[in-house]
Amino acid sequence: MAGGWTRDGAVQDQIDDTVKDAVLRARALTPQGDSAEECDDCGEPIPKKRRDALPGVRTCIACQSERDKAVVHSRSTGAEARIASCARRV
């Protein structure tokens, strides 16, 4: 009843919202238009699958995750910290 159920649900809602925000943010940051055949950062070829999945992609997976890390650090929304603290509680 007023036990863990409510709390778990609330945490899940918060995670859902956070993930939704992150997805929207990632979409807003995703370039549109022609995909690059080679990574802008390291020059490695970008797999066709990745280019098809992400129109306008400019980087390989490794470089993109580096860029994503930089984005997380440069924006202090606290969303990532919230995910981390939720994960610890679950």
Q: Which residue number, 18 or 58, has a Cβ lying nearer to Zn ion? A: 58
38 Rama class: left (phi>0) / alpha (psi -120 to 50) / beta? beta
For tokens 């863990």, what's the residue? 4
Candidate residues 22, 63, 72, 83; the one interacting with Zn ion per rule CB under 5 A: 63
What lies within 8 Å, CB to CB, of 86 at 6+ separation is 11, 14, 15, 18
**Is residue 80 a contact point for Zn ion (CB under 5 A)?**
no
The minimum distance between CB 53 and Zn ion, in angstroms, equals: 16
**Is residue 41 a contact point for Zn ion (CB under 5 A)?**
yes
**For binding to Zn ion (CB under 5 A), which residues are involved?**
39, 41-42, 44, 60, 63
